[in-house]
Amino acid sequence: MFSRNMVLRSVELPIRAKFQDRFELFPLSKAAILHETGDAVEWVYFPETGLIGLASETSGGESAQCATVGYDGAVGVFEACGSRRVFHRAQVQVPGRAWRARAGTYRELFDQSESLRTSVHKLVEVLLAESRQYVACNALHSLQSRLARLLVDVQDKGQCGDTLPLTQDALAQMLGVQRTSVALAVASLQKAGVVRRGRGALAIADRSGLEREACSCRETLTFARDEIYASFDTACDA
């Protein structure tokens, strides 16, 4: 159990065994809503495969994706131990599967596992680094290079093969731009020979070439993640 999700994999084996019957393997179906803005936290999700998008919404009903969660993260781990409400929408972008537990079960596990607390602490740091970097990325880098970086990240975080089941509408929401702009960027990447368009999907034709097309934020964040995950063994108690 918990063999693929990086957060759950950090839990000490005796504690893992104690809690394993209180977790369930849950299918992440395409476009499924896991929670809406304002919902109470009922479940905490730990993806093994697939990708979950977190979207912030305005009072006028507009929304833009602000983070993606794959096998290296979790959904609800902060809110379940804090306000116990969520202030974003969580929706499946790439189908897969996740372990999930009731919020109360997760809080018990969090209290008992020092390794989990450390892992969640590091995850907070990684998400803060990503959110800050993406603000700079949106202001400084071209849409084509941002799209290339996003596609590489989706393949890595979602544990996908070369075919990514993402429509141009989904990519537009993930990048916070118009669909027509995404179509032009996809066409440019296809002309460069690094992707192929399909029906409701994009195929990565040249992974190395796509990485070269990606903006420098990928390299910056890879360095930051490596430094954070290697930085300490135990989180502060307070």
**Structural domain range at position 185:** 142-215
Q: What is the pLDDT of residue 2?
A: 61
Question: What is the torsion angle, in degrees rounded to the nearest 10, for the CA atoms of residue 152, residue 154, residue 156 and residue 161?
Answer: -90
Residue 191 in any domain: the answer is yes
List of the chain residues with pLDDT < 50:
238
**Domain check: are 101 and 176 in the same one?**
no
Contact 186, 202 (CB under 8 A): yes
**CA torsion sign, 38 to 48 to 112 to 67?**
negative
**Domain check: are 207 and 158 in the same one?**
yes
Q: What is the pLDDT of residue 121?
A: 95
Residue 61 in any domain: the answer is yes
Specify the pTM. Answer: 0.92
User: What's the CA gap between 94 and 64, in Å, rounded?
Assistant: 17
Residue 188 in any domain: the answer is yes
72 forms beta bridges with none
**Domain check: are 153 and 110 in the same one?**
no
Q: Pick left, alpha or beta for residue 136 (phi over 0 → left; psi -120 to 50 → alpha; otherwise beta).
A: alpha
Contact 72, 157 (CB under 8 A): yes
* Number of domains comprising the chain: 2
Q: What is the pLDDT of residue 236?
A: 66
In the chain, what is the greatest distance between 2 CA atoms, to the nearest angstrom? 53
Q: What is the pLDDT of residue 84?
A: 96
Q: What is the pLDDT of residue 235?
A: 65
Residue 171 in any domain: the answer is yes
